[in-house]
Amino acid sequence: MTDASMDNPTPARSRSLSQTDPNTRRRNAAERRFRAYGMAAILVGLFFLTVLFVSIVRSGLPAFTRTVVTVDFTLTQEQMDAAESELFKTKAYSNLFIASLQEQLQQRGMTVEFDEAAIERLLGKVGGTLRAHYQANPDELSQPVAFELAASSRVDGYFKGRVQRETLQDSRFLQLSDLDLVDALEEAGIIKQAFSWAFITGADSGVDNPGGAGIGASVVGSFFMMLVVLVLSLPIGVAASIYLEEFAPQNRFTDLIEVNISNLAAVPSIVFGILGLAVFIQFMHLPQSAPLVGGLVLSLMTLPTIIISTRASLKAVPPSIRDAALGVGASKMQAVFHHVLPLAAPGILTGTIIGLAQALGETAPLLLIGMVGFVARGYPEGFVEGFTEPNSAMPAQIYTWAARADVSFYEKAWGGIIILLAFLLTMNIIAIILRRRFERRW
Partner 1 sequence: MNDMTAVDKTVETQRTKIAAQNVNVYYGDSHAIKDVNVEIEDKTVTAFIGPSGCGKSTFLRCLNRMNDTIDICRVTGDILLEGEDIYAKSVDPVQLRAQVGMVFQKPNPFPKSIYDNVAYGPRIHGMAKSKSDLDDIVEKSLRRGAIWDEVKDRLHAPGTGLSGGQQQRLCIARAVATEPEVLLMDEPCSALDPIATAQVEELIDELRENYSVVIVTHSMQQAARVSQKTAFFHLGNLVEFGPTGQIFTNPEDPRTESYITGRIG
CB 369, CB 277: distance < 8 Å = yes
Q: Based on CB atoms, which residue is closest to partner 1, 206 or 327?
A: 327
Of 301, 268, 306, 290, nearest to 396 (Cα)? 290
Could you give phi then psi for residue 109, rounded to 5 degrees?
A: 75, 25
Q: Which stretch binds partner 1 (CB under 8 A): 82-90, 233-241, 282-290, 333-341?
A: 333-341
Main-chain phi, psi angles of 406, to 5 degrees: -65, 130
What's the CA gap between 167 and 207, in Å, rounded? 24
Candidates 116, 339, 384, 430: give the one binding partner 1 (CB under 8 A). 339
Kindly tell me which of 343 and 394 has the beta carbon lying closer to partner 1: 343
Rounded CA separation 353/359 (Å): 10
Among 331, 377, 403, 407, binds partner 1 (CB under 8 A): 331
Distance between CA 183 and CA 259 in Å, rounded? Answer: 67
Residue among 204, 227, 205 nearest 392 (CA)? 204
| Rounded Cα gap, residues 270 and 249, in angstroms | 34
State which of positions 127-146 bind partner 1 (CB under 8 A). none
- Alpha carbon 231 to chain centroid distance? 21
Which of 4, 6, 136, 328 touches partner 1 by CB under 8 A? 328
Find the shortest distance in angstroms from Cβ 314 to partner 1: 15
Shortest Å distance, C-beta 442 to partner 1: 4
8, 14, 107, 250: residue in contact with partner 1 (rule CB under 8 A)? 250
Q: Is 143 or 250 the residue whose CB approaches partner 1 more closely?
A: 250
Beta bridge partners of 149: 69
442 contacts partner 1 (rule: CB under 8 A): yes
Cα 207 from chain centre: 20
DSSP 283: I
Cβ within 8 Å of residue 177, ≥6 positions away: 114, 118
For residue 246, how many other CB atoms are within 10 A of its CB? 18
Stretch of 115-123, 202-210, 338-346, 395-403 lying at the interface with partner 1 (CB under 8 A):
338-346
Q: Contact with partner 1 (CB under 8 A): which of 327, 386, 403, 433?
A: 327
CA dist., res. 263 & res. 272, Å (int): 13
Stretch that binds partner 1, among 95-103, 112-120, 166-174, 325-333 (CB under 8 A): 325-333
Binding region for partner 1 (CB under 8 A) out of 43-51, 105-113, 305-313, 434-442:
434-442
> Residues 61, 184, 232, 326: which binds partner 1 (CB under 8 A)?
326
Among 145, 188, 330, 430, binds partner 1 (CB under 8 A): 330
Footprint on residues 29-68 left by partner 1 (CB under 8 A): none
Is the CB of 283 or the CB of 442 nearer to partner 1? 442
Instruction: Report if residue 324 touches partner 1, rule: CB under 8 A.
Output: yes
Cβ pair 276, 373 in contact under 8 A: no
Binding flag, residue 320, partner 1 (CB under 8 A): yes
Alpha-helix residue ranges (DSSP H) falling in 147-246: 153-159, 176-187, 197-201, 216-242
CB-nearer residue toward partner 1: 82 or 324:
324
The one among 20, 55, 334, 426 contacting partner 1 by CB under 8 A = 334
Q: Compute the least distance from the CB of residue 319 to partner 1, in Å.
A: 9
Q: C-alpha angle 33/38/44, rounded to 5°?
A: 125
* 323 near partner 1 (CB under 8 A): yes
Minimum distance from CB of 312 to partner 1 (Å)? 19
Prior bond to 11 cis, omega within 30? no
Q: Identify whether the C-beta of residue 310 lies closer than 8 Å to the C-beta of residue 344.
A: yes
Segment lying near partner 1 (by CB under 8 A), choices 42-50, 182-190, 232-240, 329-337: 329-337
Q: Considering beta carbons, is residue 87 or 328 the nearer one to partner 1?
A: 328
In this structure, how many other beta carbons lie within 10 angstroms of the beta carbon of residue 193? 15
Site track 280-319 with partner 1 (rule: CB under 8 A), x = hit:
--------------------------------------x-
- For residues 346 and 310, the answer to whether their CB atoms sit within 8 Å is no
Please count the residues of the chain.
442
Q: How far is the CB of 249 from partner 1 (least distance, A)?
A: 6
| Residue 329 engages partner 1 in binding (rule: CB under 8 A) | yes
d(CA 402, CA 86): 43
- The residues that touch partner 1, with contacts defined as CB under 8 A, are 249-250, 318, 320-332, 334, 338-339, 343, 440-442
